[in-house]
Amino acid sequence: MKYLLVLAVIAFAIGLWRSRRRQQAAPAKPGRGRLAPPQDMVECAHCGLHLPRSEAVEAAGSSYCSAQHLAQSRAPRR
């Protein structure tokens, strides 16, 4: 009878351990605050590269991927 109790405790511990492992191994569900919120994407008016609005250089209603492309699009074409 004593062994039956020990067996029950061990079985309970193994069950608990396995359920915890399953929770850790489960892949993270998309959304629900784990990922950064989506950002607006803009296109560089010079080279056409798409990039987040927060990283773009904006001038005169157009967006550019870098200050260099802003300068190149402003400079007269040769």
Site residues for Zn ion per CB under 5 A:
44, 46-47, 49, 65, 69
SS3 content of the chain, % helix, strand, coil (to 5): 45, 15, 40
- Least distance in Å: CB of 49 to Zn ion? 5
Q: How far apart are CA 15 and CA 6, in angstroms?
A: 14
Residue ranges in 26-53 assigned as alpha helix (H): none
Q: Of 18 and 50, which has the nearer Cβ to Zn ion?
A: 50
- Least distance in Å: CB of 76 to Zn ion? 18
- Least distance in Å: CB of 60 to Zn ion? 15
